[in-house]
Amino acid sequence: MKTETGPARAAVLRPEETGDGEVIACRSTELPGDQSAVFAARVWTRTTTTALCWNGDVLRAVEVVSRLVDNGVRHGVPADTPLGKRRLSLSAAITDAGALIVEVSDLNPAFPDFDVAVRGERGRGLWQVAHRGAQVTWFLQSAGGGKTVRAVLQPM
Over pLDDT 90: what percentage of the chain? 57
CA atoms of 89 and 95, how far apart (whole Å): 20
pTM: 0.84
Q: Does the domain made of 2-153 have the CATH classification 3.40.50.2300?
A: no
Write down the domain spans for the chain: 2-153
State the DSSP code for 44: H
DSSP 114-153: HHHHHTTSS-SHHHHHHHTT-EEEEEE-SSSS-EEEEEEE
Comparing 84 with 44, which gets the higher pLDDT? 44
Mean pLDDT of 62-88: 90
CA atoms of 138 and 41, how far apart (whole Å): 19
**Highest-confidence range of 11-25, 77-91, 95-109, by mean pLDDT?**
95-109
CA atoms of 137 and 151, how far apart (whole Å): 7
